[in-house]
Amino acid sequence: MSGLPDAFNDPEDSQLVVDAKKSIPEPFEFGYTERDVILYNLGIGATEKELQWTYEGHDNFAALPTFGVIPQFAASSGVPLGWLPNFNPAKLLHGEQYLSIKGPIPTEGELVSETRLLEVLDKGKAASVTTIVYTKDKATGDVIFENQVTVFIRGAGGFGGKRAGSDRGAANAVNAPPKRKPDAVVEEKTSPSQAALYRLSGDYNPLHIYPEFAAMGGFDQPILHGLCFMGFAGKHVLKTYGAYKDIKVRFAGVVYPGETLVTEMWKEGNRVIFTTKAKERGTTVLAAAAVTLADGDAKPKL
């Protein structure tokens, strides 16, 4: 077998997937400064009034928790998928994102991300591929973030093997909202320039800035990055219920820069289940979403 830890091997995998899991990408190094933290925070809607997120001299200057998706981005998006049948990168959709925050987030540092294929599912007409990324402090080796990234590739199924995913706990929980009114709701309007700003944190896909490229994808205009509006929603939960140690979302729809995001939240024990909608179109854009609170007994902050 491949020599990978048992967690990455699965007896249900087809030989194609077994072989793909043997390929281990090189560790990806990511260095950043306070400027990068501020740029990210601004990219998900932090303002000049929120100095703890936008002024490096503030006593409580910090990265917003969803910054944890940034150091791993190039590592997870660089995993080769050409071994899938009929692989076409234009048919790839970002399906779900799970971020676990393992320690204090440095406001500057040198990090290293190690990436593996975690789970590959044959959905018949599509493939579902989940990659796991451990991001460590380069100097100490301490894990700061774990990300699990699930993408769907239309037209790339039919290779055999697993069809249903394993239970990965919070990383792929269903997170169905309770049948009651939300316990809290936060609305926030994005800027027409939101995608132009957010892309400077590392996702330069022209889908988010170049109208002609967006049109080729079937969109009337460039769309907002999924990880950007995930960051907005994560900020809404943070401001309402306080710090959390993990966050999981499913990307259920698109957001156009300038639209208003509405995050509805339900507190269930130490978890906050939430959904996010684009107000102008009444469209759900984040579903099956939740955080695990760092302090389960925390009271709402609003």
Residues assigned a catalytic role: 203, 208, 223, 226
Q: Which is nearest to 251 in space by CA: 122, 120, 90, 92? A: 92
Contact call for residues 175 and 289 (beta carbons, < 8 A)? yes
Q: How far apart are CA 164 and CA 161, in angstroms?
A: 9
Q: Which positions ≥6 away from 221 have C-beta within 8 Å?
A: 211, 214, 256
Task: Locate all alpha helices (DSSP H) within 223-264, ordered by sequence.
Answer: 226-241
Q: Which positions ≥6 away from 151 have C-beta within 8 Å?
A: 81, 92, 93, 94, 95, 128, 129, 131
Beta-strand ranges (E) seen in 123-270 are 126-137, 143-154, 184-189, 244-251, 260-268
* 41 token code pair: 């925070």
